Amino acid sequence: MTMSEKILSKKAGRRVYPGEHIVADVDLVYAHDGTAPLTIEMIEELGLRELRSRAIFTIDHASPPPNVDAAANHRRMRDFASRWGVRIFDVGEGICHQVIPERGLVKPWDLVIGADSHTVTLGALGAFATGVGSTDAAIAMLTGKIWLKVPESIAVKVDGTLKNHVTAKDVILEVIGRLGSDGANYKAVEFLGSAVEAMSLDSKMVLANMSVEMGAKVAMIPTDGRTSEWLKERVGHFEGIWPDEEANYSAFYEFPAEEIKPNVSLPNSVDRVAPVEEVEGEEVDLVFIGSCSGGRFEDFLLASRIMRGRKLKEGVRCITVPASKEVQMKLIDSGLMRSLLEFGCTVGPPTCGPCIGAHMGLAGPGETVVSTSTRNFPGRMGSPDSRVYLASPLTAAASAVEGKLTDPGRFLS
């Protein structure tokens, strides 16, 4: 069996097969300030008084609240959480997909439901983690169960050694560029290979996180040594998960690691991918390093390889937003926070921030953005007339130094 089939079989209490509809036990349900208000409304309308699933709220999207409506939503979440016993991570704690694993609240073999499409991020830890709407999240909280179709599984194998200036973001953009925006539609994507195993958990989370941009229902990575060490510090006891040798995949894609170059998603569509070296040169107005895809400690560590000892190009804004308070504290303790400020970055509190066009530094009409975030649809990060390139932290840093879209290989060999 594949990893997703193993988990769904366990949670359904029987062997399940791709294509069939099942009712499965849920281990965790979470929602944020963009989706929790509707979840609360649904629960209150049903008139029930007990939650049967472990539930978490995070205030991370419009956080700190940029307007009165957002502040009112936050207060409603706090009130509900207090009355119903829901654990809540408030303003300043960070983005749900980062805070939940950091706090040891998810482990391999868990079935996790999140009212956000990037819930797939947690599949990097070996959980079946998938995004649903607010209504489904409410029902899962009330019943402790979820109704879903068992997805077919596809394998993405990356073997070999990545170049020094190539990151997990470049890898997943390479995959999305080949498969397209619907190439993994309602599929369970399982990442395999020596290059994947060599990655830190921060990097593995990038692969899982961006898989939804090619339609994935879930993205999973087998438990290895580096992931195990990370889990031991936060979870304690856990059981690792791997696919069977005879696992049946509906498609199998191979990517030689040595052939992958620094990539970008061209404006307006994540799957319009090109090597940076083929499109570099466009002048840049804003660089953003942050989000649930590019705001972990490793992302800032990568960026610092290029930023340290250099200065932000005059006329360019560089906004950096750590994905969680834990990341923020690591930046302070390591001295990287000072390096970011000395380079010329504006550093924000842990939040989604500009990624969703909520606040904290949006793009104006006609401006060009290089961002480590998740999506670049028109208007996603501000004006519909802006242009957003999705890139790795290395490409973002190189572009901030040069003031134009730049291949990081010019700084790192």
Cα distance between residue 222 and residue 126, in whole Å: 6
Q: Is 352 annotated as a binding residue?
A: yes
Alpha carbon of residue 347 to chain centroid: 20
Q: What is the mean pLDDT of residues 113-117?
A: 98
Share of the chain above pLDDT 70, in %: 100
Give the tens place of pLDDT for each residue, 47-86: 988 999 999 999 999 999 999 999 999 999 999 999 999 9
- Per-chain mean pLDDT for the chain: 97
Q: What is the mean pLDDT of residues 126-131?
A: 99
Q: How many residues does the chain have?
A: 413
Whether 3-257 shares its CATH topology with 265-407 is answered: yes
Full strand arrangement of the beta sheet holding 187-192? 218-220, 187-192, 152-159, 251-256
CA dihedral of residues 128, 129, 134, 138 (deg, nearest 10): 50
Kindly report the pTM of this predicted structure: 0.97
Write down the pLDDT at residue 48: 85
Give the tens place of pLDDT for each residue, 271-327: 999 999 999 999 999 999 999 999 999 999 999 999 999 999 999 999 999 999 999
Query: Within a 13 Å sphere around the CA of 111, how many CA atoms are in the beta-carbon half?
Result: 25
Write down the pLDDT at residue 358: 84
**Is the per-residue pLDDT at 413 higher than 80?**
no
Give the tens place of pLDDT for each residue, 331-369: 999 999 999 999 999 999 999 989 988 888 999 999 999
Match 């670049």 to its residue by tokens.
376
Write down the pLDDT at residue 379: 94
**Is the per-residue pLDDT at 225 higher than 80?**
yes
**Is the per-residue pLDDT at 154 higher than 80?**
yes
Nearest Cα to Cα of residue 145 among 273, 262, 24, 326 = 24
Q: Is 292 annotated as a binding residue?
A: yes
Kindly list the domain boundaries of the chain, sorted by start residue: 3-257, 265-407
Q: What are phi and psi of 331, to 5 degrees?
A: -65, -40
Give the tens place of pLDDT for each residue, 283-292: 999 999 999 9
Tell which CATH architecture fits domain 3-257. 2-Layer Sandwich (3.30)
Give the tens place of pLDDT for each residue, 179-194: 999 999 999 999 999 9
**Is the per-residue pLDDT at 114 higher than 80?**
yes
Between strands 28-32 and 111-114, the pairing is: parallel
Q: Burial level of 45, CB count in 10 A (0-12/13-18/19+)?
A: exposed
Write down the pLDDT at residue 399: 99
Share of the chain above pLDDT 90, in %: 97
Give all strands (DSSP E) within 35-151, no chain letters: 55-58, 87-89, 111-114, 128-131, 145-149
Give the tens place of pLDDT for each residue, 369-393: 999 999 999 999 999 999 999 999 9
Q: Is 318 annotated as a binding residue?
A: no
Cα distance between residue 281 and residue 86, in whole Å: 49
Write down the pLDDT at residue 71: 98
Task: Classify domain 265-407 at the CATH topology level.
Answer: Aconitase; domain 3 (3.30.499)
Write down the pLDDT at residue 102: 98
Cβ density class 160-182: b for 16+ within 10 Å, e for less: eebbebbbbbbbbbbbbbebbee
